[in-house]
């Protein structure tokens, strides 16, 4: 049983739109009659389920960790205008689920008198807009519980930089202030909000602020009972959900029906969807070959089946989707330190626990003694540590290493994904498609 039991009755509070934002529905039947917003908050958590698999596929199948084998899904690896054909299975469900979560969070923020509920809702809203801008760039912003049904201009896309500065960062800062550092049921915490804020600043290239917030997480981890698992394999699998390394995860339970109606992330990585029965990219195999004795290899890849066993099929429908774990924080912290000019020795010391757990030698700072060399080492470590966790493509984009990793020149238009065409058609010409699609 999951520690958050997401009551299905909570969904009665939220009127689900079909597939577009033009139908900004009234979030609840009668907002004035509600005094308890716990159900609406649970709905905001619930809708995160619909973002998990699309983020997993975009993060790994667009990059050099996994590949599609059946047309037209092979468009993921072709970096052209035809990726719009994937709308029904990936971009559309992701878009809809994200804005449903935001609408529910808005209702809590606007109406609840419970400061903790509001803090959790702000965490979820900040997290969701962060996902949206990483996927689409400029996005529609709605910060009200009942947006206008007649003013189409509110659908216009807001520059990503503005979304970061006026929504994502303030929401996560408010969540840090409102929440406790620990949670007994896997809900949002101040540590999760601060870790995600560090990730946001890293994405923005603001390494100074990233270092500050990630340092706070590293230093506050022990008090919050957060630490690296001794065994890498025990980070994953249904029996290990919410282990000590997980700072925040979107909880998945077979007892709660997921609105996402296609193969889930564990099926994609495990090669159980016919569109890619052997998804493992040879490039990732080669990366592990270059790290002999690495204990992460057998957990992450099966070079015979050409798939990933990281999220075992046993108990698949109950695997949580990891949004942030401590190893990711350590890797980001090392990256921020390096970009801020910290010595190679100090930076590589941060990586030592991760490599020691993986059974490989710690990196020699006398050899890796330049910022560029340490930068590459961190990128290589992130790939091995976080493969099939939806991170790779977004790492390549933010570090400007897409072309180097993919071995070809890729138009930067295709660093982003296409806005669902259904949203453009329904948006009264207010929503414009990303260039190149």
Of 381, 379, 384, whose CA–CA distance to 401 is shortest? Answer: 379
- Nearest Cα to Cα of residue 76 among 393, 384, 419, 302: 393
Rounded to whole angstroms, the maximal C-alpha distance in the chain is 66
Tokens of 205: 């290239």
pLDDT at 33: 52
What sign has the CA pseudo-torsion 21, 22, 23, 27?
positive
Dihedral angle sign, alpha carbons of residues 233, 237, 240, 241: positive
Q: Which long-range contacts (CB under 8 A, 24 or more apart) does 365-374 make?
A: 368/344, 369/344, 370/344, 371/338, 371/339, 371/341, 371/344, 373/344, 374/338, 374/344, 374/347, 374/348
The pLDDT, as a whole number, for residue 152 is 83
Write the secondary structure of 93-154 as one string of H (helix), E (strand) and C (coil).
HHHHHHHHHHHHHHHHHHHCCCHHHHHHHHHHHHHHHHHHHHHHCCEECCCCCCCCCCCHHH
Structure tokens at 183: 């949670």
Q: Which two tokens stand for residue 422?
A: 């259904």
Contact 160, 139 (CB under 8 A): yes
Residue 18's pLDDT is 34
Q: What is d(CA 303, CA 310) in angstroms, rounded to the nearest whole number?
A: 13
Q: Which two tokens stand for residue 243?
A: 């282990």
Q: CA-to-CA distance for 388 and 311, rounded, in angstroms?
A: 9
For 196-199, the CB contacts below 8 A with 24+ separation are 196/123, 196/126, 196/127, 196/130, 196/172, 196/248, 196/323, 196/324, 197/126, 197/169, 197/172, 197/173, 198/329, 198/332, 198/333, 198/336, 199/130, 199/324, 199/328, 199/332
- Full DSSP string of 216-253: HHHHHTTTTT----SSGGGGSSGGGTT-TTEEEEE---
Neighbours of 366 (CB within 10 A): 8
What parts of the chain have a pLDDT lower than 50? 1, 5-32
CB 50 within 8 Å of CB 96: yes
Question: Which SS3 state, helix, strand or coil, does residue 321 take?
Answer: strand
Residue 16: Cβ-neighbour burial (10 angstroms; 0-12, 13-18, 19+): middle
- Looking at the domain that runs over 8-151+164-404, which CATH code has it been given? 1.25.40.390
Please state, as a whole number, how many other Cβ atoms lie within 10 Å of the Cβ of residue 413.
Answer: 14
Sign of the torsion formed by the C-alpha atoms of 415, 418, 419 and 424: positive
Distance of CA 427 to the CA centre of its chain: 26
Write down the pLDDT at residue 202: 98
For the whole prediction, is pTM greater than 0.85?
yes
Check: CB of residue 100 under 8 Å from CB of residue 14: yes
How far, in Å, CA of 151 to CA of 62, rounded? 36
The mean predicted confidence, pLDDT, of the chain is 91
Per-domain residue ranges for the chain? 8-151+164-404
* Model pLDDT, residue 315: 78
């Amino acid at each position: 049983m999951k520690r958050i039991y997401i009551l299905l009755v909570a969904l009665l509070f939220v009127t689900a739109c079909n597939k577009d934002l033009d139908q900004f529905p009234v979030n609840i039947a009668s907002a004035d009659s509600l005094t308890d917003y716990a159900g609406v908050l649970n709905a905001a958590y619930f809708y995160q389920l619909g973002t998990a698999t699309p983020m997993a596929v975009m993060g790994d199948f667009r990059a050099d960790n996994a590949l599609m084998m059946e047309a037209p899904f092979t468009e993921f690896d072709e970096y052209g205008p035809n990726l719009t054909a994937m709308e029904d299975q990936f971009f559309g469900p992701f878009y809809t689920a994200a804005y449903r979560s935001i609408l529910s969070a808005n209702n809590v923020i606007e109406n609840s008198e419970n400061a903790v509920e509001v803090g959790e809702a702000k965490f979820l809203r900040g997290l969701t807009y962060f996902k949206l801008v990483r996927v689409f760039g400029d996005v529609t912003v709605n910060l009200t519980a009942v947006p206008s049904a007649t003013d189409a201009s509110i659908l216009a896309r807001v520059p990503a930089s503005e979304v970061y500065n006026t929504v994502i960062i303030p929401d996560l800062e408010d969540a840090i202030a409102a929440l406790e550092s620990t949670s007994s049921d896997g809900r949002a915490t101040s540590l999760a909000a601060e870790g995600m804020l560090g990730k946001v600043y890293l994405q923005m290239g603001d390494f100074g602020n990233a270092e500050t917030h990630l340092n706070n997480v590293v230093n506050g981890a022990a008090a919050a009972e957060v630490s690296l698992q001794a065994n890498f394999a025990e980070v994953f699998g249904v029996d290990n959900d919410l282990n000590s390394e997980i700072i925040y995860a979107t909880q998945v339970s077979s007892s709660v029906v997921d609105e996402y109606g296609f193969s889930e992330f564990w099926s994609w990585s495990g090669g159980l969807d016919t569109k890619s029965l052997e998804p493992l990219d040879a490039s990732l195999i080669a990366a592990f070959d270059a790290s002999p004795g690495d204990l992460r290899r057998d957990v992450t890849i099966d070079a015979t089946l050409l798939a990933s066993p990281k999220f075992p099929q046993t108990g698949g429908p109950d695997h949580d989707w990891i949004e942030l774990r401590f190893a990711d924080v350590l890797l980001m912290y090392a990256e921020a330190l390096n970009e801020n000019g910290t010595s190679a020795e100090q930076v590589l010391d941060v990586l030592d626990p991760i490599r020691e757990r993986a059974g490989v030698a710690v990196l020699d700072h006398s050899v890796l003694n330049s910022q560029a060399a340490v930068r590459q080492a961190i990128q290589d470590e992130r790939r091995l540590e976080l493969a099939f966790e939806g991170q790779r493509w977004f790492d390549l984009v933010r570090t400007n290493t897409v072309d180097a990793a993919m071995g070809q020149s890729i138009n930067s238009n295709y660093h982003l994904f296409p806005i669902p065409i259904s949203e453009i058609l329904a948006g009264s010409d207010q929503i414009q498609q990303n260039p190149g699609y």
